[in-house]
Amino acid sequence: MKNQDGLSRRARWAGGETIASVLMARTLAQPELISLAAGFVDSETLPIESTQKAFDAIWSDPARAKAALQYGTTIGYPLLREAVLQRTVQADGTTAEQLNVSPEQVVITAGSNQLLFLVSDTLLDPGDVVICGAPSYFVYMGTLGNLGVRAVGVEIDQHGMIPEAVDESLTRFEAAGELGRVKAIYATTYYDNPSGVSIPAERRAALVELAKRWSRNGKIYLVEDAAYRELRYYGDDIPSLWSFDPTGEVVIHAGTFSKSFSPGIRVGWGILPQTLVEPVLAQKGNLDFGSPNINQLLMATVLEQGFFDVHVQRLRESYRKKLDAMFSAADEFLAGIDGVDWVRPTGGLYVWLRLPDGIDTGFSGALFDRAVDEGVLYVPGEYCYPPNVPKLTKNMLRLSFGVQSCDSIRRGVELLGRAIREVL
């Protein structure tokens, strides 16, 4: 086909309109819609006051103020890198010494999406393979498509990625003589987007063992996306996938303050195997030679002054109520419908709903327009799957409980229940 616009392959692979922009357009066109689609954090709990106090602390210290307004380094602000590492090892119940890791392996990025992109751009050539859950975080599926990479989905259950399914997938690639093309396994380990599920400790250990065992034709990394770790409303924290690899060679750990503090500040990070630090920094050097310094100093100050932990506690309380509101509404309005089913998450922002077989939740299916007519918006599940899943499940959808009030969540679920009954 003639390339009329003179676009690069990468630009063409980037694809057209994103699912987010389609849904956004619907919301703008009908502002009275209750959107249970947007994966945004709640505007009502954004940390205005603590951000202001942290800025005050920066402006009242001339050295910090100057640093904040100056370019920084490619790898990121040292105090923030130290704090991120310290907090991670502490949450994992270990120490930097035990894991033989240093702040020199922590790279600060403009959100964890940038880290995921940089790492992918560093490791993957067109035609390479990343194994991921089916479903998976759709923005990252887009990133992989943009790089010409094959995202290959494996089955998940209520405990997330199934190690046996990964093993089978790798066996198939080996049989096809393509094991060398598999470069990474990607998983959101806490309160997955969209499935809401977390991977338990035993599976984390099994995934690390798998990645090591299958790295015989070339290294297979595990990319751990821990974007929602702090948003835990019930149960105990689980040590990160990263902490299950004492060699520090296999897991790339991606984290972010977007969900736990503010996506507007957009500070994320990666903790990388030693050997990847330089190559990733070379990519970042060419891209922006360092993320905005003012945001990094701001987050370092927010952590240092204790504002972060207080904020996360507040968030947990507020989102816990919303999660409860969603489930009491689901019990009331959805549970009575034959074939409707869900796994109750204990954190994060999402609920992954299964509808009766035969209901197509997509834009061209009967439910979507009916739901919009009733006044509620959701994310059709099919957009959350990697491309070319052998049997695409059409009857799934994602609901978010982050943005709406408890009352609107209840009303939204009621309207959804009504729409489902109408199409049945």
Ligand X SMILES: Cc1ncc(COP(=O)(O)O)c(C=O)c1O
Residues that bind ligand X (CB under 6 A): 39, 111-113, 137, 188, 193, 225, 227, 256, 258, 263, 266, 268
**Residue 193 or residue 404: which is nearer to ligand X going by CB?**
193
* Angstrom distances, CA of residue 302 to CA of 103, 184, 261, 336: 19, 34, 9, 46
Minimum gap (Å) between residue 268 Cβ and ligand X: 4
Minimum gap (Å) between residue 149 Cβ and ligand X: 17
**Residue 109 or residue 301: which is nearer to ligand X going by CB?**
109
Which strand (E) or helix (H) includes residue 109?
strand 106-109
**Residue 108 or residue 182: which is nearer to ligand X going by CB?**
108
**Residue 190 or residue 244: which is nearer to ligand X going by CB?**
190
The residue of the chain with the least Cβ separation from ligand X equals 111
Minimum gap (Å) between residue 249 Cβ and ligand X: 23
**Residue 193 or residue 296: which is nearer to ligand X going by CB?**
193
Long-range contacts of 402-408 (CB under 8 A, 24+ apart): 402/38, 402/39, 402/40, 402/41, 402/42, 402/319, 402/322, 402/349, 403/35, 403/38, 403/40, 403/41, 403/42, 403/43, 404/34, 404/35, 404/36, 404/322, 405/44, 406/321, 406/322, 406/325, 407/325, 408/34
3-state secondary structure labels for all residues of 2-23: CCCCCCCHHHHHCCCCCHHHHH
**Residue 113 or residue 293: which is nearer to ligand X going by CB?**
113
**Residue 74 or residue 112: which is nearer to ligand X going by CB?**
112
Minimum gap (Å) between residue 96 Cβ and ligand X: 23
Helices within 46-103 (DSSP H only): 48-59, 62-69, 78-91
Question: Cα(313)–Cα(402) distance, rounded to whole angstroms?
Answer: 15
Minimum gap (Å) between residue 267 Cβ and ligand X: 8
Minimum gap (Å) between residue 337 Cβ and ligand X: 28
**Residue 141 or residue 208: which is nearer to ligand X going by CB?**
141
CB 187 within 8 A of CB 386: no
Do β-strands 396-400 and 129-134 pair in parallel, antiparallel, or remain unpaired?
A: unpaired
Question: Cα(126)–Cα(140) distance, rounded to whole angstroms?
Answer: 15
Residues in the chain: 424
CB 233 within 8 A of CB 196: no
Minimum gap (Å) between residue 417 Cβ and ligand X: 26
